[in-house]
Amino acid sequence: MEHVLKFLKDLTKNNNRDWFEKNKARYVEAKNAFEVFLEEFHRELVLIDESLAGLNPRKQAFRIYRDVRFSKDKRPYKINMGAGFSPGGKMMQEPGYYIHIEPGNCFVASGLYQPDPENLAKVRQEIDYNADAFLHILKNKSFRKYFDGLDDFDRVKTAPKGYPKDHPQIEVLKNKSFIISHAFTDQQAKERNFYKQVVAACRAAKPFNDFLKEAIS
């Protein structure tokens, strides 16, 4: 992963088409190194979650090219490499795992990102009905080794419709995305067994994903 991080660091400083084209061979090398990592990761991940067995790991990577049509930020390239693993592909309307490689910001995330209104209502209802089971997952020792709780980047400011402001789980129910994440240092990402470290975090996240799967099934 060292070549990947070095390329992305240089791309961050030179995010323009001229530089990218001149360094296309470096990009291809970095892309291939990332995809080799995804193959190693996927081989171990299916031992935890067999629903992902049918995926082609190389095809789970997201494109590095940004869609700038409706963005004020006109930089043409992402400054990270990422990949999503869920049974239907790249983080569809179902729980899965996301890997993010970026200098100074490497992490793995699990859960359900911005579900549609129907699935969002189902998840909130499941937490409301089965709060004890949900909290047991969040308090589990293996879970706590990697995750502090839900990320709070995507929430409503007040109680969701149908839930009182004094609901015992109101802070969880405010979430519009149900995501947990674990950060890695750049040095960890450069280690040969990095994929095993990521898989270990995914193993701890599996019960959380299972709860969400049950909620929207």
The per-residue pLDDT of the chain, averaged, comes to 95
Residue type, 133: A
- Note down the domain range covering 129: 2-216
How much is the pLDDT for 124?
97
How much is the pLDDT for 92?
64
Within 81-192, where are the H helices? Answer: 117-129, 131-139, 141-146, 170-173, 186-190
How much is the pLDDT for 73?
84
How much is the pLDDT for 70?
81
The answer to whether the beta carbons of residues 100 and 109 sit under 8 Å apart is yes
Per the structure block, which two tokens stand in for 134? 């949900």
Which residues lie across from 183 on neighbouring strands?
107
CA distance 35 to 59: 8
Q: Percentage of residues in the chain with pLDDT exceeding 70?
A: 99
Phi-psi group of 111: left, alpha or beta (phi > 0 → left; psi -120 to 50 → alpha; rest → beta): left
Residue 78 has pLDDT above 80, yes or no: yes
Interacting residues of 5 by C-beta distance below 8 A, sequence separation 6+: 101, 103, 186, 189, 190
How much is the pLDDT for 91?
61
CATH (domain of 159): 3.30.930
**Dihedral through CA 134, CA 138, CA 142, CA 145, nearest 10?**
170
CA distance 6 to 4: 6
CA distance 24 to 142: 42
Per the structure block, which two tokens stand in for 97? 């795992």
Count: domains in the chain:
1
Q: What is the mean pLDDT of residues 80-107?
A: 91
Residue 135 has pLDDT above 80, yes or no: yes
Q: What is the pLDDT of residues 98-112, one digit of tens each?
A: 999 999 999 999 999
Q: Percentage of residues in the chain with pLDDT exceeding 90?
A: 91
Give me the residue label for tokens 């899965």.
96
Q: What is the mean pLDDT of residues 127-137?
A: 97
Global model pTM greater than 0.85: yes
At residue 194's C-alpha, the angle toward residues 45 and 50, to 5°, is: 0
CA distance 114 to 178: 8
pLDDT category at 74 given cuts 50, 70, 90 is confident
CA distance 216 to 157: 24
Q: What is the pLDDT of residues 145-188, one digit of tens each?
A: 999 999 998 999 999 999 999 999 999 999 999 999 999 999 99
Per the structure block, which two tokens stand in for 110? 């699990």
Residue 88 has pLDDT above 90, yes or no: no
